[in-house]
Amino acid sequence: MKMTFRWYGPQDSIPLNYIKQIPNMSGVVTAVYDEPVGEIWQEDKISKLHKLCKEADLAMEVIESVPVHEDIKMGRPSRDGLIANYAQTIRNLGKYGVKCICYNFMPVFDWLRTNLKTKAKDGSNSLSYKHEELTGTDTKDLHLPGWDESYTADQLSSLLTAYREISHEELFENLVYFLNGIMPACDEAGINMAIHPDDPPWDMFGLPRIITGEKSYDELFAAVPNKHNGITFCTGSLGAGRSNKLPYMAEKYADRIYFAHLRQIKFAGELDFTETGHMTAGGDLDIYGVVKALVKGGFEGYVRPDHGRNIWDEDGKPGYGLYDRALGAAYLNGLFEAIEKEMK
């Protein structure tokens, strides 16, 4: 495995040399953030990021995310042009040594939480999700913590209405169409696509969500067998779905898991959860079991400690402060080393 750390570019409050000081850190996971969704990422922007990483002696082999335009997800006529742009972005990234692109196919919203600063008794805080709070939210005046409110109220309402016409099956077909359109660019550039699961893994506001568990992956690989079609195995997202057996899935898909987001959650109700420190003992997911299954399955991809808490009075970007993610990396490094040596 290659240990990595998410870095939000030059505007991130965490300097690259701090990241480099975390033991075993091979590289950062980053993105071009100032290109509107659907536009080609130009080489000058990619090369600037690449240079900064190189100067800090960190690889830039994973991009999270190249966002997918809603017209592609909805199968609108403009999708062919947008897919061609996406393919060009892939080729451009390939020129700078990128090996893996994390993306998602969630309609309208990315991950959803209801509180970004849930205080624990020990004074730390973290992200949490309460299903009732979310379902009680009026979509006409939607202000959710965390996701980028890039739509006006009118745009959002017309998007939500347009999605009412789109079934899970159609959304899945649109994903397959998109993947088939970009696979030649991936073959050419040697880049693996790694779809992020829906977070949390169930429908939201009547919007279909399709990457939620084992069945989704079986269907995805059957529809697009190309090896560049792979997944980001996010324990926190998949783990919120109580029927997902994480270690079993990690082993089953190990050769398609190009990127692993490892983090912990603790359930507070059937569909409610709070994010906790990474260790297995800190929550309800078997992080040790997942790492063991990955190693057993021959996983050779990138790993990053996912969402950390804010600890030691850090006021970091929710989920993406320095300290707790660094502790997470250290813990995960230890697990991998012990398990890899044990299995030799």
Which tokens go with 270? 């059937």
Q: Which of 65, 88, 115, 139 binds ligand DNO (CB under 6 A)?
A: 65
**Is there a catalytic annotation at residue 234?**
yes
Q: Which of 4, 92, 104, 125 binds ligand DNO (CB under 6 A)?
A: 104
Q: Which of 261, 278, 286, 302 is catalytic?
A: 261
Quick note: the x/- pattern for ligand DNO over 165-204, rule CB under 6 A, is: -------------------------------x--------
Nearer to ligand DNO, 65 or 226 (CB): 65
The minimum distance between CB 344 and ligand DNO, in angstroms, equals 32
From residue 300, give the alpha-carbon distance in Å to each of 117, 259, 304, 311.
34, 9, 13, 31
The SS3 of residue 72 is: helix
Q: Which of 12, 71, 272, 306 is catalytic?
A: 306
Is 2 among the residues that bind ligand DNO (CB under 6 A)?
A: no
Q: Which of 86, 302, 320, 331 is catalytic?
A: 320
Under a CB-based contact definition with an 8 Å cutoff, are residues 228 and 187 in contact? yes
| For helices 79-94 and 168-189, angle between their N-to-C axes, nearest 10 degrees | 30
- Cα diameter, the chain: 58
Q: Which of 69, 217, 307, 324 is catalytic?
A: 307
Which range of residues in 88-96, 101-109, 175-183, 284-292 is near ligand DNO by CB under 6 A? Answer: 101-109
The minimum distance between CB 338 and ligand DNO, in angstroms, equals 26
Residue partners of 169: CB distance under 8 A and separation at least 6: none
**Is there a catalytic annotation at residue 196?**
yes
The minimum distance between CB 137 and ligand DNO, in angstroms, equals 19
Residue nearest to ligand DNO (CB): 65
Q: Kindly determine how many residues on this chain lie close enough to bind ligand DNO according to the rule CB under 6 A.
A: 11
Under a CB-based contact definition with an 8 Å cutoff, are residues 212 and 198 in contact? yes
Quick note: the x/- pattern for ligand DNO over 45-64, rule CB under 6 A, is: -------------------x
DSSP string, 216-277: HHHHHHHH---TTEEEEEEHHHHHTSTT--HHHHHHHTGGGEEEEEE-EEEESSSS-EEEE-
Nearer to ligand DNO, 54 or 205 (CB): 205
Q: What is the CA radius of gyration of the chain?
A: 19
Q: Is the dihedral of CA 207, 213, 219, 224 positive or negative?
A: positive
Distance of CA 179 to the CA centre of its chain: 17
Bridge partners of 265, per DSSP, are 275
The minimum distance between CB 172 and ligand DNO, in angstroms, equals 17
The minimum distance between CB 68 and ligand DNO, in angstroms, equals 8
Binding site for ligand DNO (CB under 6 A): 64-65, 102-104, 110-111, 196, 261, 307, 319
